[in-house]
Chains A and B, each alone.
Chain A
Amino acid sequence: MASHDESHDHDHHHKVTFWNKYVFSEDHKMISKQFLVTGMVMGVIGVTMSLLFRLQLAWPEKSWPILETLLGKWGADGVMTPDIYLALVTIHGTIMVFFVLTAGLSGTFSNLLIPLQIGARDMASGFLNMLSYWFFFLSSVVMVMSLFVESGPASAGWTIYPPLSALPQAMPGSGMGMTLWLVSMAIFIISSLLGSLNYIVTVLNLRTKGMSMTRLPLTIWAFFVTAILGVLSFPVLFSAALLLIFDRSFGTSFYLSDIMVSGELLSNAGGSPILFQHLFWFLGHPEVYIIILPAFGITSEVISTNARKPIFGYRAMVGSIMAIAILSFIVWGHHMFMTGMNPFLGSVFTFTTLLIAIPSAVKAFNYITTLWKGNLRLTPAMLFSIGLVSTFITGGLTGLILGDSALDINVHDTYFVVAHFHIVMGLSAIFGMFAGVYHWFPRMYGRRMIKSLGYMHFWITFVCAYGVFFPMHFMGMAGLPRRYYTNTSFPMFDDMADINVLISVFAIVGGIAQVLFLFNFFYSAVRGRKSEQNPWKSNTLEWTAPVEHLHGNWPGELPTVHRWPYDYSKPGMEEDYVPQNVPIKEGEVETGH
């Protein structure tokens, strides 16, 4: 372990200018803010798209002038076309999964917290870190640009299964829009790899004196394992995308065989569209954990701090993170039960998939037990964390249904799946992200967010979130497929009209309520009340650094760690918290590991 406390002269050896402070910054704290704000901008785009297609689903025969304003020729007379509907779902999914919940979440909090919580001056490589952000920025720009191409953005679903995504003849979105999607994702993957490698190296090498792996806060464990998952799985998506680019542009047949599309017989032979799905989900499943693990990390920290109680079962928590990570590499086939795969293979994937429920259950129980006999300080961050536990339980339970191949026959690709993954991943991770922002805002901006707006934001969001996604289970059980432009072509589904309206109303109210958050965020960043150094009376090292941001984080020497991060309400101590850098008192028994 490098103690890394050689006199740090970062402050002196180059001039601080606007450009290297705010734009091409190599400081992890600034990069973290850049990730967050970019993620928020992408989030606004992604959420707005979902509100547009909810308009279509709830009121398919109504005309909305706003659609014409926003969508132009695809919203002529205020009614969106089926093509743009699919484009909106596709880009919505892509943006939320990759840009908001992967880069926005991991990028923000891994960057902010890894150096600060392990007691390092900065990331192992500030330069690569900066590149990671700028690649992310570039890929966001390309993705947004793809919205404006003549033939429309990518429309084959965020999973972009070929041949649909490979053939411009099959849908307009598979033309230029798809090319830009692939380019954007390729750049995104580079960004993610640069970031992840940096996180891994930093955690392994730059921990301060006394910060053994078993004294790491659970946030760091989560970010660390997430980074490993990313490094191992994103390259596979990269190859999948590369082969797809070849099929699209250079006449290869990795994924194509025996196809006649819009009257034209293609010469491709010998490829398999299913190969793409294997490659995609080899990333795709770990990806869902890349999204949720950082949210878990944040939640662990927020719940423990605000319950004024050690996180229950630290070792089990670390163990379950690792178990989830390992298992997540051998379950991808559960997205493909209906592809005609050998039923025996399906059985194997059912087996491994249901195993994941065990470490997941352990996590849920441990969170609940952490609350037990705590002294809960119900900050907005705490409420969002508890909300996460609730949605994770709800969504995880339906995973047991979907993971069972026999049951998946009837609900695969229906709204049941939409309900499942939005609740377990979408909502949980977004709640984790909000919890993180509310909790670490004082650390990021030196100011406090407005509490009452935070409460309002939580309540509207929480109620609307369940209101949007819970009813979808029933629609799926009634057999309604996902990715349908409207369900009015089937009289069988006419009795869902009311539910669709209900869902859309919740979606619109919940979506607009995010203005409360955005306002609170930007207002507080500029004019919020100044925060003290450790406003939550927390144990972790980031609160031992001064409020103002220093390049190098701590003036003078790096803190030395003497204990685990969860000594809250420890008997025999004066305060109900003991920061990690406080030496063990005489006669005190060290706990935690």
Chain B
Amino acid sequence: MDTFLIILVAILAVVALGQIVRIFELSTDIKGGADPNDVTDKDNHIQGTLMVLAGVALVASFFWMVYSYSDILLPVSASEHGVQIDNLWDVSMWLIVIVFLITQPVLFYFTYKYRGNKAKKAVYMEHNNTLEFVWTIVPAVVLAGLIIYGLTTWSNVMNPDHSDEEPLVIEVFAKQFGWTARYAGSDNQLGNANVRFIEGTNSLGVDINDTKSFDDVITQMPELHLPVGRTVTLKFRSQDVIHSAYLPHFRVQMNCVPGTSTHFSFKPTVTTADIRKEEHVIQKVKNINEIRAAKGEEPYEYDYILLCNKICGAAHYNMQMKVIVETQEEFDKWMSEQKTFAEML
């Protein structure tokens, strides 16, 4: 019934619009004169003015958003390489914001400034080699700088130097719709694994015949514990479809692809306890808890998180694992409470 009414109202609205247009057209016909659909100087003036206002509004709302959405953003990077990425981000952002703030106002201002007028004539200018040369070369030079800076950062991030310490090896295993971590244990070597070995409690498909697997530690809670200040190498595997391990606080992301293994190395630098004391985080948590309180939800405590960032099925939106960065002592203590793979079987 509701639907029927809505449709009826919609039809009536369209018919009414049609009639209004008819009446309007008839009335201009009676007055005689040109086709009212021709653009007059007055139209140009109104639209040109609106355009320049739109330009102002665009720039103003940009600043408003930067100001009022700054609270929702991620805090400072909690990993070593993330600082480099953030610097590159800042440089690139400044650059594009400046270009944005120059080109957009010019575009809208020109629209206003050169709004048409029957009495005027446009200049005839079909090209200008100097100008065109300049605006090909300037972007090219700026981009060259950006490319070099970007590629250096990329290569630092993706090929980190491990000569001074051996990274802690952890496997992150993805399946619809959850994450499990497997620590390499005292030998820091992961035992072989393949989905073909999955059976009963051996839900990661670890090879029971591989001696390297005996000391592996498989987490029972969806939690990833990491010691602060130690480089970790995460090795990713997927059981079913592609997932993506996204750790935004650490500026880390890597797809988990069935049939192959991928990896990402990074060094966490800020413990969970410390990030909670960070000013930006305190403010963010305060805002969030106000919203939650209004909805009658429990207060929230800030945590690092690993999210799935590749569409993987119905519960993709809830495929998460808490990440806890702690001191080496806390980490060791936690680790000593875990059962090894051999003990589990």
Contacts and interface: CB of A to CB of B under 8 A. Distances in A.
B126 A340 contact: no
A394 B257 CA distance: 33
Contacts of B251: 409-410
B317 A400 contact: no
Contact of A499 (B48, B69, B108): B69
A409 B157 contact: yes
Contacts of A16: none
A497 B74 CA distance: 16
Contacts of A495: 71-72, 284, 287-288, 291
A451 B303 CA distance: 55
* Interface size band for A: 35 or more
Interface string B159-179: 100000000000000011000
Nearest to B70: A474
A481 B246 contact: yes
A312 interface: yes
A344 to B, nearest CB: 8
A378 interface: yes
A393 to B, nearest CB: 5
Nearest to A66: B3
Given A474-B73, A487-B317, A576-B122, A393 B104 contact: yes
Contact of A484 (B58, B198, B316): B316
Given A470-B61, A529-B25, A358 B143 contact: yes
B120 interface: yes
A554 interface: no
Nearest to A412: B253
Interface in B22-69: 22, 25, 35-39, 43-44, 47-48, 50-51, 54, 57-58, 61-62, 65, 69
A289 interface: no
B328 interface: no
Contact of A372 (B65, B84, B114, B175): B114
Interface string B130-158: 01100110011001001100110111011
A498 to B, nearest CB: 8
B107 A390 contact: yes
Nearest to B45: A378
B96 A397 contact: yes
A164 B241 contact: yes
B100 interface: yes
B258 A163 contact: yes
A69 B73 CA distance: 38
Given A495-B72, A519-B18, A406 B124 contact: no
Interface stretch (B87-95, B221-229, B332-340): B87-95
Most chain B CB inside 10 Å of its own CB: which residue of A259, A343, A404: A404
15 contacts: A161-B310, A256-B259, A259-B259, A373-B122, A390-B104, A393-B107, A404-B146, A412-B309, A413-B246, A449-B37, A459-B50, A481-B308, A492-B302, A494-B291, A576-B121
Interface of A: 65-66, 69, 81-83, 86, 156-157, 161, 163-164, 167, 170-171, 256-262, 265, 271-274, 307-316, 338-340, 343, 346-347, 350-351, 354-355, 357-358, 361-362, 364-366, 368-369, 371-379, 383, 386, 389-390, 393-394, 397-398, 400-401, 404-407, 409-410, 412-414, 448-451, 453, 455, 459, 462-463, 466, 470-471, 474-475, 477-479, 481, 483-487, 489-492, 494-497, 499, 515, 519, 523, 527, 529, 535, 566, 568-571, 576, 591-592
Given A463-B57, A478-B73, 8 more contacts: A86-B316, A257-B258, A315-B127, A340-B254, A371-B107, A377-B39, A410-B253, A495-B288
